[in-house]
Amino acid sequence: MLTNAEDADIPAIVSLLNRAYRGSGAEAGWNSEAGYIAGDRTTEALLRADLLAHPAASLLKWIDPESKETTGCVWLQPLGTGQWYMGSLATDPVRQNAGAGRKLLEAAEQYVRAKGGDRIRITVVNVRDTLIAWYERRGYTLTGETEPFPYDDDRFGTPLRDDLMFVVMEKWL
């Protein structure tokens, strides 16, 4: 079940994002960035600052219907003219191979549709071939656009490679 995250949920969501994006060893999911970006993906302070800076955005949490635990999250932000940005889509790495990410993505797309959106834009680090292919199987297409990687901003971790950038993908709903 997808619901709005509250301030009290921020510590659990930050932990989830850091495990999902930068986990290693037993905590690594199939799409971990740990091989090319070191450090935390986010902090409580950064996530709260992003929420304050983008009041129209929604940070949503996925609640497992059986355990009632937060096992996923997603950031959705309207960009105008029916387009939404989706970021920070993450599921508990332990549950990734059970289809949790697919269910969360479908719920996020349904949320955007219910808010009047007709397309979703995402950015993915260019070297995450497996993740890009996962999104392509779900109807997202590469737009040909790229965005620079923030090498001068260590708030999101330390890049371990000098060839990182973001590719832009989009899906019409």
Residue type (1 letter), 172: W
The length of the chain in residues reads: 173
- Tens digit of each residue's pLDDT (9 = 90 or more) over 4-31: 999 999 999 999 999 999 987 666 777 7
The strand order across the sheet containing 2-4 reads: 2-4, 58-63, 70-80, 83-91, 119-125, 165-172, 141-148
Mean pLDDT of 147-157: 89
Q: Is residue 16 part of a domain?
A: yes
Q: Is residue 51 part of a domain?
A: yes
Q: Average pLDDT over the chain, rounded to whole?
A: 93
Q: Is residue 52 part of a domain?
A: yes
Question: What count of other Cβ atoms lies within 10 Å of the Cβ of residue 121?
Answer: 18
What are the helix (H) ranges across the chain? 10-22, 44-53, 100-114, 129-137
C-alpha distance across the termini of the chain, in Å: 20
Q: Is residue 137 part of a domain?
A: no
Contacts of 46 (CB under 8 A, 6+ apart): 155, 156
Q: Is residue 147 part of a domain?
A: no
Domain, as residue range, for 36: 2-122
Residue 151 has a pLDDT of 94
Q: Is residue 80 part of a domain?
A: yes
Q: Is residue 140 part of a domain?
A: no
Domain count, the chain: 1
Give the domain CATH number at 64: 3.40.630.30
Q: Is residue 131 part of a domain?
A: no
Q: Are 20 and 90 in contact (CB under 8 A)?
A: yes
Crossing angle for the helix pair 44-53 and 10-22, to the nearest 10 degrees = 110
Residue 32 has pLDDT above 90, yes or no: no
